[in-house]
């Protein structure tokens, strides 16, 4: 069967919608490039399972639709389930792109991390029940390890597809209540380097809280976006030269850090951390030497968690948060790290 025929048939049978089909619900997000709402279908407003998420986007919506279509075909389980995207031009104002996803759940990782219950709230969601194991640092480590594995797994499939997300942060990670896993959302800043889509644009979009120190994910020496066929031939080489995927690894390392250190979960403390790290020339080991002697109990607890099992957690974190992109591990290599040798939460629940 031809891939194009398959894609066409699949597209034909997927539901298509238009403006009047939706009843707008709660506003979930509002950015410079669009607004996001929970919506239900006008025809069956009562069915909660049928709920969708609608993003009304500006001109950048076209790229986001393209990325979501690609993810849907190449690595569907790593991102929120994309339903449909179209140009909505019925209003008198300038036209908008409308994007629709399945409503995956109520909570992003940002919501869950901010709760005093973290990481036990996440454990209950992944297992679907409250565990009766004693609370403590070992159990917390196992929960965080499971979240990290899910994130890296999703990231590895995105990167293997040739897509760099560039805006990985807890706000862009949604807990999918159906699959009981974390999925990546918001491909609005993503770049597909294999076909040169969204090559080096919109650097200004990047969230300074989670962005890696390099300003550009591709070296500024690389020529500007070549036309698609040339890019397809060249970009695996460019990928190897520039390792743009390591930008996402840095951000994921910061999420690991925030999960391990309760004291670094607020924006202001994360920003303070980044300032301290910069003063240490982005050397995480030097940062540890700086803060550990006068650390408060929150910070000490983070080191204690990462030091479990001869410090393999700390070792993994340090291999993700490095100044030079090429010294950071890839998502695939991170998944093979000994930190993940121990069984995670799902294995536990099968055993019980």
* Shortest Cβ 107–Mg ion spacing (Å): 14
Asked whether the beta carbons of 165 and 157 are under 8 A apart, the reply is: no
Q: Which is nearer to Mg ion, 156 or 186 (CB)?
A: 186
Q: Which one, 165 or 194, has the nearer CB to Mg ion? A: 165
Peptide bond into 309 cis (omega under 30): no
Q: Point out which span in 60-68, 164-172, 212-220, 302-310 binds Mg ion (CB under 5 A).
A: 164-172
- Closest distance of CB 44 from ligand ADP, Å: 18
For residues 68 and 330, which CB has a smaller minimum distance to ligand ADP in the complex? 68
> Which does residue 339 bind out of Mg ion, ligand ADP, none, counting CB within 5 to 8 angstroms by kind?
none
Q: Express the helix, strand and coil content of the chain in percent, nearest 5 each.
A: 50, 15, 35
| Of 172, 258, 319, 330, the one binding Mg ion by CB under 5 A | 172
- Determine which residue in the list 64, 186, 245, 248 makes contact with Mg ion, applying CB under 5 A: 186
Annotated catalytic residue within 2, 21, 111, 167? 167
Q: Which of residues 32-71 bind ligand ADP (CB under 6 A)?
A: 33-34, 36, 53, 55
Residues whose CB is less than 8 angstroms from the CB of residue 243 and which lie 6 or more positions away in sequence, other chains included? 325, 326, 328, 330
Nearest-angstrom CA–CA distance, 156 and 335 = 9
Task: Determine if 181 is a binding residue for ligand ADP (CB under 6 A).
Answer: no
108 binds ligand ADP, rule: CB under 6 A? yes
Task: State in angstroms the smallest separation of the CB of 113 from ligand ADP.
Answer: 13
The verdict on whether 167 is a catalytic residue reads: yes
Q: What is the Cα–Cα distance from 55 to 52, expressed in whole angstroms?
A: 10
Say how many C-beta atoms besides its own lie within 10 A of residue 76's C-beta. 13
Which long-range CB contacts under 8 A does 58-61 form with residues at least 24 apart?
58/33, 58/34, 58/96, 58/97, 59/97, 60/33, 60/34, 60/188, 60/202, 61/33, 61/34, 61/85, 61/96, 61/97, 61/98, 61/99
Q: State the CB neighbour count (10 A cutoff) for residue 263.
A: 19
Least distance CB 31 / ligand ADP (angstroms): 4
Interface with ligand ADP includes 185 (CB under 6 A)?
A: yes
Please identify, among the stretches 15-23, 181-189, 218-226, 285-293, the one whose residues bind Mg ion according to the rule CB under 5 A.
181-189
Q: Which residue is nearest to ligand ADP (CB)?
A: 29
Nearer to ligand ADP, 161 or 171 (CB): 171
Q: Is 234 helix (H, G, I), strand (E, B) or coil?
A: helix
Specify the residue, 34 or 262, whose C-beta has the smaller distance to Mg ion. Answer: 34
Torsion of Cα atoms, 120 then 124 then 129 then 132, to 10°: -20
For 106, the token pair is 């109520």
**Stretch touching Mg ion by CB under 5 A, among 64-72, 133-141, 170-178, 263-271:** 170-178
The answer to whether 308 and 138 are in contact (CB under 8 A) is yes
Pick 82 or 153: Cβ nearer ligand ADP: 82
Minimum distance, C-beta of residue 209 to ligand ADP, in the bound complex (Å): 13
Residue identified by tokens 């889509």 is 197
Cβ(34)–Cβ(61) below 8 Å: yes
Known catalytic residues are 167
**Interface with ligand ADP by CB under 6 A: which residues?**
28-29, 31, 33-34, 36, 53, 55, 80, 101, 103-105, 108, 171-172, 174, 185-186, 188
């Amino acid at each position: 069967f031809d891939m194009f025929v398959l894609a066409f048939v699949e597209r034909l049978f997927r539901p298509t919608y238009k403006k009047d089909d939706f009843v707008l619900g709660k506003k979930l997000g509002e950015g410079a490039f669009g607004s996001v709402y929970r919506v239900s279908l006008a025809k069956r407003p009562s069915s909660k399972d049928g709920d969708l998420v609608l993003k009304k986007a500006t001109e950048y919506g076209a790229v986001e639709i393209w990325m979501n279509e690609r993810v849907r075909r190449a690595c569907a389980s790593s991102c929120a389930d994309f339903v449909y995207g179209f140009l909505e031009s019925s209003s008198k104002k300038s036209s908008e792109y409308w994007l629709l996803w399945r409503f995956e759940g109520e909570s992003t990782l940002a919501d869950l991390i901010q709760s005093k219950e973290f990481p036990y709230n996440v454990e209950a969601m992944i297992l679907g029940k409250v565990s009766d194991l004693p609370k403590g640092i070992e159990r917390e480590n196992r929960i965080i390890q499971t979240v990290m594995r899910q994130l890296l797994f999703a990231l590895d499939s995105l990167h293997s597809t040739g897509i760099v997300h560039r805006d990985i942060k807890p706000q862009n990670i949604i807990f999918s209540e159906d699959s009981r896993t974390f999925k990546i959302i918001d491909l609005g800043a993503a770049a597909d380097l294999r076909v040169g889509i969204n090559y080096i644009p919109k650097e200004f979009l990047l969230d300074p809280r989670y962005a890696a120190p390099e300003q550009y994910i591709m070296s500024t020496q690389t020529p500007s976006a070549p036309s698609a066929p040339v890019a397809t031939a060249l970009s695996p080489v460019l990928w190897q030269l520039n390792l743009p995927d390591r930008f996402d690894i840095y951000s994921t390392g910061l999420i690991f850090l925030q999960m391990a250190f309760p004291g670094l979960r607020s924006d202001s403390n994360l920003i303070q951390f980044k300032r301290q790290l910069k003063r240490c020339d982005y050397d995480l080991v030097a940062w540890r030497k700086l803060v550990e002697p006068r650390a408060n109990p929150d910070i000490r607890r983070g080191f204690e968690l990462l030091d479990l099992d001869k410090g393999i957690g700390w070792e993994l974190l340090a291999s993700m948060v490095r100044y030079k992109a090429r010294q950071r591990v890839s998502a695939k290599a991170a998944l093979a790290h000994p930190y993940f040798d121990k069984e995670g939460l799902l294995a536990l629940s099968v055993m019980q």
